[in-house]
Amino acid sequence: MSRPTIAGVARAAGVSVASVSRVLNGLPATEEMIERVQRAVDALGYVPDSRARSLKVGRTFQLTLAVADVGNPVYVTMMRAVEEVVSAAGYRLVVTTTGPDVVDEVALVRGMARGYADGLLISPIRVDEDLVKSIRECEVPVVVAGNVPAKAGVDTVRANSPKGMLLAVDHLVAKGRRRIAFLNGPADTVPGAARSKGFTEALKAHELQPAAVAEATDFTFAAGRAAAPDLLAAGGVFDALICANDLLAVGLMHELAAAGLEVPRDVAVVGMDDSELAEQSFPPLTSVNLGSAERGRRAAELLLARIEDNERAPRRIVVQPSLSIRRSTP
Amino acid sequence: MSRPTIAGVARAAGVSVASVSRVLNGLPATEEMIERVQRAVDALGYVPDSRARSLKVGRTFQLTLAVADVGNPVYVTMMRAVEEVVSAAGYRLVVTTTGPDVVDEVALVRGMARGYADGLLISPIRVDEDLVKSIRECEVPVVVAGNVPAKAGVDTVRANSPKGMLLAVDHLVAKGRRRIAFLNGPADTVPGAARSKGFTEALKAHELQPAAVAEATDFTFAAGRAAAPDLLAAGGVFDALICANDLLAVGLMHELAAAGLEVPRDVAVVGMDDSELAEQSFPPLTSVNLGSAERGRRAAELLLARIEDNERAPRRIVVQPSLSIRRSTP
DNA sequence: TTGTACGCGTTATCAA
DNA sequence: TTGATAACGCGTACAA
């Protein structure tokens, strides 16, 4: 006994398939018709086939979320927010990992043409001409969480890294720290470039010179630890440290402790992303909240809105940062 | 101009749709035919529609992963492993959050009948008769990551909590700790019940009595902190503490520090799951590795295998634990 | 308000 | 080897 189809229900109810379809989709029908159909549906345990439905209506009620690494806390936060919005709207979420390579991102965007999802929410870690082109030409609506040129012609939600950097520097300066160092992630990434620019600007605003700058090989805990020697070689020249994300900050804090430096007494540390790890680390980490959850939420809403109406002009939303002050700064 | 269909390609190439389909699916054809079809495909930028394909072949090449909370580190680890296996096999991953309620899990399992995915990988947080029934009757293959009665008749991959508990207690006893306390999560959950049973057995094996036992309201950092007063009220009666997961352990460690207790000197702390947080916490947390990544990987493999051959007898895999010793224990 | 019949884009069967 | 055509299960003109 295979799964019943709409034809089976119609036969069992003694009505036409059209009537069954109408009742199931809430279109006008007589009480008696609704009753008969419902009875047959229940009796047979009929469930509409979403494959056939997708082909017919040209929509899958699925959205794709593409991030570089589903394990990164900031993506986890975004994903959770996205999942909430999307499922509340009756859509399923297809989660894809692109990896660090831009060609994989391009392949993914092109692959949307197969029509397995109604929209794409992508947070590209690196951006090039090919990617912009593929996004502009994508067969389904695209929303970018991150920075992409306006000529891509799509909705965008991004953080304000420079403003966030300024909040961090303001705070440190207010606490009397002047010799500020910076640990970035890879500068050839979208967030890396933004952080670097923001740090330079923020120091300039305070007429300060960087006390030390280092670049980790990745935005991870391990990379943060590995970058420690570079910074510590400049021993004692900095009394504050800003890290491009929380993982780097926590990794570095472990090495600071190992080197006998106390946080925040000897070195104040500020992370970015304000992920759950910031609250959980010891000491709890002061961190720039770049609004990952809000970005996820708004990006998802933008995507849903665009699916409803693809004619509206692209919007570029910037989510403002805030500073979560904890015990890693004085 | 809408997307080209296989008919458009056939027309452009001057061949039949059947031939185009064959070439695209690698079925036997002459060199010249392959050449002509390929040329037309490239010229038109044709991409097969996966909706139509799904309807025809009865497969979507999608799998559903259902967990209670995509933000929980242990699920993140599992998800990453699952995503890797699944995408390598050419499948997409649909990620669904069930929430803490068992009725939502049942609805999800029933909903698989719509055929939007070829299989389900579920990690139920609570299990009841309804859920077991729905799993047994599910329209698509199901693999359970966790504990579910054999009568559900499905492949299962689970951790060995009791063995893991024993590893933790062995270690603590070897280090001279005898007054061992336990912080569990909700005992009416699958992992909570397993942890509780394991702790009791492990202490019995060493002929010890529990020094203190508390139950947090959830498996979270916040719940760990909130549970601290309960345990600390028993002040000084324990010199070691096992927590049902890493989040609880780290939350509690913050409160221990606030209470002036030093880890591991005053209290040795052991977590469970050996998530990335264990390595990142300060001091780094000794933790029972229950093999989340391996469970995810094997569950995904089991599901793929069952989709290929649904006749094989259900397998019940138990992944063995190990202990990752770090500085939170002497 | 209800029923008939067609088409969505693809794969698979059967003849040629 | 290739081509014509019948499904796959559903939604919806159009006609009654």
- Domains of chain A (ranges plus CATH)? 6-48 (no CATH), 59-159+292-320 (3.40.50.2300), 161-289 (3.40.50.2300)
In 3D space, the residue among B101, B108, B195, B80 whose CA is nearest the CA of residue B147 turns out to be B195
B140 CA – D4 C1', rounded, Å: 34
Residue type, A133: K
> In this structure, what are the phi and psi dihedrals at residue A97, rounded to the nearest 5 degrees?
-100, 125
pLDDT at residue B235, rounded to an integer? 58
Q: Are A272 and A310 in contact (CB under 8 A)?
A: no
The verdict on a CB contact (< 8 Å) between A96 and B93 is yes
Q: Are B70 and B286 in contact (CB under 8 A)?
A: no
Q: Are B161 and B290 in contact (CB under 8 A)?
A: yes
The verdict on a CB contact (< 8 Å) between A70 and B83 is yes
Q: Are B246 and B278 in contact (CB under 8 A)?
A: yes
Taking 70 as the threshold, does the pLDDT of residue A1 lie above it?
no
Q: State the pLDDT confidence band at B2, using cuts at 50, 70 and 90.
A: confident
Q: Which parts of the protein come within 7 Å of strand C, by CB position?
A: A 15-19, 22, 28-30, 32-33, 55-56; B 2-3, 5-7, 17-18, 21, 24-25, 46, 48-49, 52-53, 55-57
Percent pLDDT > 90 in chain B is: 92
Q: State the pLDDT confidence band at A71, using cuts at 50, 70 and 90.
A: confident
Q: What is the DSSP letter of A321?
A: P
Residue B96's alpha-carbon distances to A62, A91, A142, B93, B146, in angstroms, are: 12, 10, 21, 10, 17
* Helices vs strands, H then E, count in chain A: 14, 12
H or E element in which residue B297 lies: helix B292-308
Q: For residues B77 and B276, what is the distance between their CA atoms, to the nearest angstrom?
A: 9
Q: For residues B135 and A294, what is the distance between their CA atoms, to the nearest angstrom?
A: 36
A9 CA – C2 C1', rounded, Å: 16
Q: For residues A222 and A284, what is the distance between their CA atoms, to the nearest angstrom?
A: 19
| C-alpha dihedral (A33, A39, A44, A46), degrees to nearest 10 | 60
A295: distance to nearest CA of chain B, Å?
Answer: 16
In 3D space, the residue among A199, A164, A198, A2 whose CA is nearest the CA of residue A74 turns out to be A164
The verdict on a CB contact (< 8 Å) between B54 and A54 is yes
**Residue-wise pLDDT tens digits, A162-179:** 999 999 999 999 999 999
**Residue-wise pLDDT tens digits, B178-215:** 999 999 999 999 899 999 999 999 999 999 999 999 99
Q: For residues B146 and B132, what is the distance between their CA atoms, to the nearest angstrom?
A: 13
**Residue-wise pLDDT tens digits, A266-277:** 999 999 999 999
**Residue-wise pLDDT tens digits, B311-330:** 999 999 999 999 999 999 99
Buried b (16+ CB within 10 A) or exposed e, A79-112: bbbbbbbbbeeebbbbbbbbeeebeebbebbbbb
B54 CA – C10 C1', rounded, Å: 8
> What does pLDDT average to over chain A?
95
Percent pLDDT > 90 in chain A is: 91
Residue range B15-22: mean pLDDT, rounded: 96
Taking 80 as the threshold, does the pLDDT of residue A94 lie above it?
yes
Neighbours of A305 (CB within 10 A): 15
Taking 60 as the threshold, does the pLDDT of residue A32 lie above it?
yes
pLDDT at residue A236, rounded to an integer? 60
Strand order in the sheet with A155-159: A316-319, A155-159, A142-145, A119-122, A62-67, A92-97, B92-97, B62-67, B119-122, B142-145, B155-159, B316-319
Angle value at C-alpha A81, between A79 and A83, nearest 5 degrees: 65
Q: State the pLDDT confidence band at B236, using cuts at 50, 70 and 90.
A: low
In 3D space, the residue among A103, A99, A101 whose CA is nearest the CA of residue A133 turns out to be A103
Buried b (16+ CB within 10 A) or exposed e, A118-142: bbbbbbbbbbeeebbebbeebbbbb
pLDDT at residue B160, rounded to an integer? 96
Angle value at C-alpha B296, between B292 and B297, nearest 5 degrees: 120
Q: For residues A33 and A13, what is the distance between their CA atoms, to the nearest angstrom?
A: 9
pLDDT at residue A265, rounded to an integer? 96
**Residue-wise pLDDT tens digits, A117-155:** 999 999 998 899 999 999 999 999 999 999 899 999 999
In 3-state terms, what secondary structure has residue A6? helix
Q: For residues A33 and A19, what is the distance between their CA atoms, to the nearest angstrom?
A: 8
A154: distance to nearest CA of chain B, Å?
Answer: 20
Residue type, B102: V
Cβ pairs A/B, distance under 8 A: 138
Residue with the two structure tokens 């008919």: B7
Taking 90 as the threshold, does the pLDDT of residue A73 lie above it?
no
In 3-state terms, what secondary structure has residue B47? coil
The verdict on a CB contact (< 8 Å) between A55 and B50 is no
Strand D footprint nucleotides (protein C-beta < 7 Å): 1-5, 7-13
Residue with the two structure tokens 């570095």: A252
Neighbours of A294 (CB within 10 A): 18
The verdict on a CB contact (< 8 Å) between B114 and A250 is no
A18 CA – D14 C1', rounded, Å: 13
Bridge partners of B30? Answer: none
Name the residue in chain B with its Cα closest to that of A249: B280
B136: distance to nearest CA of chain A, Å?
Answer: 15
The verdict on a CB contact (< 8 Å) between B116 and A92 is yes
- Whether any strand D atom is under 7 angstroms from the Cβ of B42: the reply reads no
Q: Which nucleotide is closest to the Cα of B27 by its C1'? A: D1
Q: Which nucleotide is closest to the Cα of A5 by its C1'? A: D9
Residue with the two structure tokens 């094997």: B298
Residue nearest to nucleotide D1 (CA to C1'): B29
- Whether any strand D atom is under 7 angstroms from the Cβ of B15: the reply reads yes
- Contacting residues 37-56/A vs strand D (CB within 7 A): 48-49, 51-53, 55-56
Name the residue in chain A with its Cα closest to that of B69: A80
- Chain A residues in contact with B77 by the CB 8 A cut-off are 71
In 3-state terms, what secondary structure has residue B262? coil
**Residue-wise pLDDT tens digits, A234-268:** 656 899 999 999 999 999 999 999 999 999 999 99
The verdict on a CB contact (< 8 Å) between A94 and B97 is no
- Whether any strand D atom is under 7 angstroms from the Cβ of A22: the reply reads yes
H or E element in which residue B155 lies: strand B155-159
The verdict on a CB contact (< 8 Å) between B50 and A114 is yes
Question: Please, which residues have CB within 8 angstroms of residue A154's CB and are 6 or more apart in sequence?
Answer: A135, A136, A141, A142, A143, A144, A148, A314
Strand C footprint nucleotides (protein C-beta < 7 Å): 1-5, 7-13
A167: distance to nearest CA of chain B, Å?
Answer: 26
In 3-state terms, what secondary structure has residue A329? coil
